[in-house]
Structure formats: structure tokens, C-alpha cells
Amino acid sequence: MNDLPQFFSPGQELANNGVPPLNLLVMGKVSTGKSSLLNALLGKARKNSPFKVRAESGVTQALERWQLNPYLCLIDTPGLDYLHSSDWQLPPIDVGIFVVAGSADARQKEHLDRLRQLCPRVVVVLNKIDQYDKWQPFVLDRVIEQWRQALGIDRIFPTCTFGFDPELDLAVQLDLRGIEDLKAELAILLGKRWQERQQRKQVSLSTLVSIVTPTIRSIAESGTTSRRSPFIPGLLAIALGELHHLYYGRSLSGQETYVLLQLLPTMGWYWQASDQHFLLSPDQLQAVVVDSLALLVGAIQAWSQQQILDHKTWMAARSSLAQYLQPELPSYWTKTIEDILTNLSVVAV
């Protein structure tokens, strides 16, 4: 694996061998200069910078993606002030950049820790260091140390990315500092992640069947069995966590699991008690099993391609299952699920 891509070069001739591009995501509070930082990493000038920059806060209102080449996709996020809990269903993140600015704020550690739950490869950037130009150098050193202590980290990359606002006076030049050091560190992390991707073991059909089959069989049985607790969401949560670990090496967080379970329109039935017992009618059970299997199959399809599991993916998986599960549920789940996973080509990672 010595022949690694030049991740920040727009022109690439090296074949990516079918490996999806790596996702490099930037996150931070409003007005920390996230969009400017991405433009600087791309080596863009003010007039052709893809990520919007303005003097006012909150210019970026949604996720913005920019695929630089077959190997790297850059993702800009709204400021943490606008990023609500429901928005934390982010694309798979290979490397993250957490951007801060100004005086140290210990409250940011919560957001950094949450980003690290989604991706262990995170670098922290102290942007807008030009605001300390009028002070003696030790002042910036002191601010960096304060941020290190507040966030509980060893290293921060100080940067300046001033000058990408198109409304600036034309005579104002770009002021870029610390970008090359940051790019060098990112190249190392991206290179390691690229090697992990290419060396990843394939997930066998038998492994997937061993997770999906008992889950769906238990769901089919639990809907007709008197219980005093909603059993089905727990089954799905465990199976999703196991599948996610196969493809990403970590389990899902509670928030990630909650967001995925909300994709199912039948979720409300799981929690409705009748005489303190959770029972489903035959029609409800049919819908629940189909929806649940579609969620697991959709997860395999999406995560095997390093993509996000969303409502569109779930709906596509659900449509493809009709021939296997209608007009009635099968008697032999193992054979049925083997056929589904094989015919839908979801086995290879």
C-alpha cells in the first residue's frame, strides 16, 4: 500500500479499485471559519472557492459535499448552533476536523467527544489566529494551551484562513497560515484509513445470516407472544449495532440507533400496550416484519458501500422484499434470508 492517492489533488490517475471515496468532515460552531478552512485545504482562490463565506454568521445551513477526486469527499456542516440532535445522522466519517476559534470554551468538549464517537480520527483546529497578531506571540501560545486543557487533547493546529469572503475589498489578499501542516497530518490519517478500507475483510453470507435470521425470527414470534415490555425495538437495536460494527469497527450510539429506528412507520405499534401486553394483529405483524427486515437489509446495502442509511434506502430495500414476504410470511427464515441477501448482492463489503 505504498502507492497512496494524493488526496488533496483534483486530478488523479490512480484507480480507486472500487473503494468509495473517503469522507472528510468539518464541524464547529458558527463563524469559526469552517467553510474558509475547506477552501484553503482545496487551494482555492476567492473567486472560485466552492464553499460559501460571508461576514454574517450562519451562511452554511445544511450539509454541503464536494467530491474533489475519486478518493476524497469534503463535507461542510452548519454551525453547531444550528445542528440539532436529529441532524446527527451524518454520512460515514473517515476523518473529522473540529474547528474552534477565540477564547477557550470547555463546553465544546461535549461536541468534540460526540464527533469522536462517530469517528476516532479527529484533528482539532484553532482557526482565526490572525486576531492575535497585535499581541505578543506568547498570548497565542497561552490560548492554544488553554484550548488543549479545555478539550483534553494533546495537539491543536493553529490556522488562519482569512480572505475568502467575495464581498471583501479586491485589494485584500488571502491570509493563509498553518494549512500545509494541517494537510500533512490529514494526509497521514486519510492514508491510514485508505489502507484500512482496502484491507478490510469481506463479510461472509453466513455471518450476515447469523445476525439477521434470529432477529427476524424473534420479531415474527414476539408479535404473537404476550409480553410486558416492547421487545422488538431492542432486537432491532442489537442487530443494527452488530452490523454497524462489522463495517465500521464500532457499535452505534444510542442517538444513532434512535434515528434509524424512526425510519420505520410501524415503530408506534411496538410501544402500544393492550391490557398491559404487547400484541400485534396478523396484519400489523406482517408490516412489522417486512419493515424490520428492510431496515436490516438496507443497512447492509448502505454500510457495505460506506453510505448513509436513510429513508430512501429503506424504501428501496422494502420494495425489493415484496416477492419474498408476501402474501404471507415464510416458514423457513434461514433459507429465505440467504436468498434475499444473495439475490440483492449485499454480501461483499
Is the CB of residue 279 less than 8 Å from the CB of residue 223?
A: yes
Residue with the larger pLDDT of the pair 12 and 246: 246
CA distance 117 to 207: 25
In this model, does residue 156 exceed pLDDT 90? Answer: yes
Residue 303 DSSP SS3: helix
Residue 175 is predicted with a pLDDT of 87
Residue 160 is predicted with a pLDDT of 94
Task: Catalogue the E-assigned strands of the chain.
Answer: 22-28, 64-69, 72-76, 95-101, 122-127, 157-158, 160-162, 175-177
Q: What is the DSSP string of 159-186?
A: -EEE---TTS-TTPPPEEESHHHHHHHH
Q: What percent of the chain has pLDDT over 70?
A: 79
Mean pLDDT, rounded, for 25-53: 80
Residue 273 is predicted with a pLDDT of 46
In this model, does residue 283 exceed pLDDT 90? Answer: no
CA angle 52, 55, 60 (to 5 degrees): 35
Task: List beta partners, residue 123.
Answer: 97
CA distance 286 to 326: 9
What's the full length of the chain, in residues?
349
**Which residues are CB-neighbours of 219 under 8 A, at least 6 positions away?**
232, 235, 236, 288, 289, 292
Residue with the larger pLDDT of the pair 265 and 150: 150
Residue 186 is predicted with a pLDDT of 94
Residue 270 is predicted with a pLDDT of 57
Residue with the larger pLDDT of the pair 89 and 68: 68
In this model, does residue 42 exceed pLDDT 90? Answer: no
In this model, does residue 115 exceed pLDDT 90? Answer: no
Residue 243 is predicted with a pLDDT of 93
Long-range CB pairs of 268-275 (<8 Å, 24+ gap) are 270/230, 270/232, 270/233, 271/230, 271/233
Residue 214 is predicted with a pLDDT of 93
Residue 45 is predicted with a pLDDT of 72
226 pLDDT band (50/70/90 cuts)?
low
* Cell numbers given for 176: 493563509
pTM to 2 decimals? 0.66
59 pLDDT band (50/70/90 cuts)?
very low
Please provide the average confidence, as pLDDT, over all residues in the chain: 81
349 pLDDT band (50/70/90 cuts)?
very low
Mean pLDDT, rounded, for 95-124: 92
Lowest mean pLDDT among 45-54, 137-146, 262-271: 45-54
Write the pLDDT tens digit of every residue in 243-278.
998 888 788 888 888 889 888 887 665 555 454 556
53 pLDDT band (50/70/90 cuts)?
low
Q: What percent of the chain has pLDDT over 90?
A: 30
Is the CB of residue 203 less than 8 Å from the CB of residue 247?
A: yes
223 pLDDT band (50/70/90 cuts)?
low
Residue 191 DSSP SS3: helix
Cis ω before 327 (30° cut-off from 0): yes
CA distance 213 to 204: 14
Instruction: Please tell me the number of Cα atoms within 13 Å of 120 on its side-chain side.
Output: 6
Closest alpha carbon to 57 in 30, 95, 85: 30
